[in-house]
Amino acid sequence: MAQGDSDMRKKPNILITGTPGTGKTTTASALAEATQFRHINIGDLVKEKNLHDGWDDQFDCYIINEDLVCDELEDIMEEGGNIVDYHGCDFFPERWFDQVVVLQTDNSVLYDRLSKRGYSETKISNNMECEIFQVLLEEAKESYPEGIVVALRSDSIDDITNNIATLTHWLTTWQNVP
């Protein structure tokens, strides 16, 4: 789907990214419900469709096969109306997204969320470092045009509610101007 192809989309696509524990799935699910867009949780998709190259014992997760994921999503993304939820963003084609949202969370809040998930200290430490050094925000800025990347706070239910309202407004006012 080249730039000309994205002009044919009737609805935009949004990527919601951020360190694990920042509220991506909560935000994406609520936004999908509010807008009737399709929520695509990449972690779930990888498990359901076997789009991985095995298990990483160190990080206690699947090693996703980025090519298989992109092949699986290509036609769906061309249609528009998708909210993609994943903690990475640099392997998705730039042309897929009209808005890239990087959720950010205060370190103390993030630590508590990750601990409650039962993450190992190594996994918590790795994710905390990613958040402290804003790894995913930098990845998004390097991978997508400056005008479509936005960072939003996600420390509380109020933040998530405000983010959903902001993104719902953006979705309803989006116009695909060639």
Annotation: binding site for ATP: 21, 23-26, 117
Closest by Cα among 17, 159, 15 to 77 = 15
User: What distances in angstroms separate CA 83 from CA 7, 37, 53, 111, 154, one per listed residue?
Assistant: 18, 7, 25, 26, 17
Cα–Cα distance measured from residue 59 to residue 124, given in angstroms and rounded to the nearest whole number: 10
Report yes or no: 74 and 6 within 8 Å, Cβ to Cβ.
Answer: no
Under 8 Å CB-to-CB from 161, ≥6 apart: which residues?
none
Known binding residues: 21, 23-26, 117
User: What distances in angstroms separate CA 40 from CA 28, 73, 75, one per listed residue?
Assistant: 8, 9, 13
Torsion of CA 47, 48, 49, 53, to 10 degrees: 10
